[in-house]
Structure formats: C-alpha cells, structure tokens
C-alpha cells in the first residue's frame, strides 16, 4: 500500500510574526520552521501503522522552494520512505491542491493524508480541493485512523458527539488532533538513515492563481492590565463604565 503525506513547512509556534512589503508579505527573518503539527500527527500515525506490521510505503510531499527541504528531511528522519518536493512557492490552496493531485495521479498511491489545517494561514482547504480534483472521497479533521480490510476507518468529532466513518480507497483525509498520540521525534539513527533516502524534486504543472493577498494585519495589542484593590468597588465600576465602556 502506498500513502502520500502532505508536509507543511510552517513557522515555529513561538515565532514573532512580522510583515514586509507594505504588509503583503510575511517577514521570514529569524524564523525557524517546523513540520505543521497536524501533518506531523498524520505522519506519526502512518509510521505507527507501518511499525505494527502493515506493508506501507510512505512518501512525504511538499510544494515549496529549496528551503523546505530541511522539513522534508525531518519527515524522512522520522521514518518516511521517500520525499517529493514540487519546486515552486506555494501561493494559494487551489494551486497547491492541483500540484498534489497531479503527483497522486502519476504515482499509483492508495490514499493521501494532509493536516486539518496549516498553522500559518490556517486555510484548511487543500484536502477538500485535492479530493475534488481527483473526484475521490474526503474525510476531514479525522481524530482516529485505521487501515482495515479493503477500506479505511476514521472517527471525527462532531457537535456533541463522534462520527464513525469508513471509506474505500482511494481517499483524502486530513489529520486532526488525536490522529496520533504524540508526534514522533526523529532519532539519531533515523537522521543518518535519511541521508540515503530519495528526495525527488519535480517541476510544477501550470495552474492560474485564484486568490491574491492584499494585506496582513496583526491582532490588536492587548491593553495593559489594571489592578483595582478589592475594597475599591466604586473605582472598578467607574472603570468598567468610563474606560472599558461595557456597563
């Protein structure tokens, strides 16, 4: 069985976010990159399934420029069998989905795993769009994933409960939290083994962009916290009324 796992290359969650070029671009100075946490859970679950004895070949895929190779190498060090990088800046979700759908078509894969959403732009669209391009089922935000006889089993969290879903192959699923217990940390042997694994760079297919970023905004800075002594209720009421204007 062959799986394609989409690996996002995203800023570390502790990064300080800044913009450049009139706030149209993300400022990448001093930013450290990581595998998207949901994709990391997706890959970890696939590795767990493989370790439990299932014959599973795992290909990590990323749409991105040369600098994303470090992230793909980490996927290989974690245990993915090979990696593919589609050599272009991943401008919008539609564009990215198209690229991945093409690779899927040409590679005899059985299914695709993505993350529920990337933690940079939080689009959450690529998985659904891939499914549309390929006309195959899509199970979004799965919290549990198993390979069964001739099909795959999923669980999804829904309002007030849980949904149990099964799908035939091929399909796309996006990994939500709990897809795997905790992400794997690459071991030193894995890092050395990654040296010998194939990382193929392929050229993108043509696709017009559907969207364009006009501006970024940072969330408004949190106002400073004011301490009011517990026996000064009058002052508290005055502040809530005159400054916070909520009463």
Partner 1 sequence: MKNIENGFIDYFNIDELLTEEHLLIRKSVRDWVNINVLPDIDKYNHEHESPVHLIKKLGDIGALGPFISEKYGAPGMDYISYGLIMQELERGDTAIRSTASVQSSLVMYPIQAFGSETQKQKFLPKLAKGEIVGAFGLTEPNHGSDPGSMETKFVDKGDHYLLNGAKMWITNSPIADIAIVWAKNEEGVVKGLIVEKGLEGFTAPETKNKWSLRASITGELVFDNVKVPKENLLPNVKGLKGPMMCLNSARYGIAWGALGAAADCLQTAVKYSMERKQFNVPIASFQLTQKKIAEMLTELTSAQLMAWRLGKLMNDNKATPSQISMAKRNNVFMALKIARESRQILGAMGISGDYPIMRHMMNLESVITYEGTHDIHLLITGFDVTGIPAFK
Q: Cβ of residue 12: shortest distance to partner 1, in angstroms?
A: 8
By CB under 8 A, tell whether 233 contacts partner 1.
Answer: no
What's the chain look like in SS3?
A: CEEEEECCEEECCCCCCCEECCCCEECCCCCCEEECHHHHHHHHHHHHHHHCCCCCEEEEEEECCHHHHHHHHHHHHHCCCEEEEECCCCCCHHHHHHHHHHHHHHCCCCEEEEECCCCCCCCCCHHHHHHHHHCCCEEEEEEEEEEECCEEEEEEEECCEEEEEEEECCEEEEECCCCCCCCCCCCHHHHHHHCCCCEEEECCCCCCCCCCCCCCCCCCCCCCCCCCCCCCHHHHHHHHHHCCCCC
By CB under 8 A, tell whether 201 contacts partner 1.
Answer: no
Q: Cβ of residue 136: shortest distance to partner 1, in angstroms?
A: 34
Q: Cβ of residue 16: shortest distance to partner 1, in angstroms?
A: 7
Q: Cβ of residue 85: shortest distance to partner 1, in angstroms?
A: 14
By CB under 8 A, tell whether 222 contacts partner 1.
Answer: no
By CB under 8 A, tell whether 32 contacts partner 1.
Answer: yes
Binding mask 135-174 for partner 1 (x = CB under 8 A): ----------------------------------------
Q: Which is nearer to partner 1, 69 or 82 (CB)?
A: 69
- Span interacting with partner 1, options 56-64, 66-74, 85-93, 120-128, rule CB under 8 A: 66-74
Binding mask 178-197 for partner 1 (x = CB under 8 A): ----x--xxxxxxxx--x--
Q: Which residues here bind partner 1, judged by CB under 8 A? A: 12, 14, 16, 30, 32, 69-70, 73-74, 77, 182, 185-192, 195
């Amino acid at each position: 069985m062959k799986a394609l796992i989409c690996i996002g290359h995203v800023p570390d969650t502790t990064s300080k976010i800044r913009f450049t070029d009139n706030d149209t671009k993300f400022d990448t100075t001093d930013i450290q990159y990581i595998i998207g946490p949901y994709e990391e859970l997706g890959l970890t679950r696939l590795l767990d399934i493989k370790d439990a004895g299932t014959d599973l070949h795992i290909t990590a895929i990323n749409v991105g420029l040369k600098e994303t190779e470090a992230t793909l190498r980490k996927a290989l060090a974690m245990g993915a069998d090979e990696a593919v990088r589609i050599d272009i800046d991943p401008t919008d979700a539609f564009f990215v989905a198209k690229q991945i759908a093409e690779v899927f078509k040409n590679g005899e894969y059985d299914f695709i795993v993505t993350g529920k959403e990337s933690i940079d732009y939080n689009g959450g669209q690529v998985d659904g769009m891939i499914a549309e391009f390929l006309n195959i089922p899509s199970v979004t935000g799965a919290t549990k994933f198993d390979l069964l006889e001739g099909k795959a089993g999923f669980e999804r969290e829904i309002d007030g409960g849980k949904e149990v879903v099964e799908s035939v192959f091929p399909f796309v699923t996006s990994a939500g939290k709990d897809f795997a217990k905790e992400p794997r940390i690459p071991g030193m042997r894995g890092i050395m083994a990654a040296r010998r694994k194939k990382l193929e760079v392929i050229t993108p297919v043509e696709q017009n962009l559907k969207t364009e970023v006009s501006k970024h905004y940072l969330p408004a800075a949190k106002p400073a916290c004011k301490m009011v002594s517990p026996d000064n209720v009058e002052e508290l009421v005055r502040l809530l009324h005159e400054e916070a204007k909520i009463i």
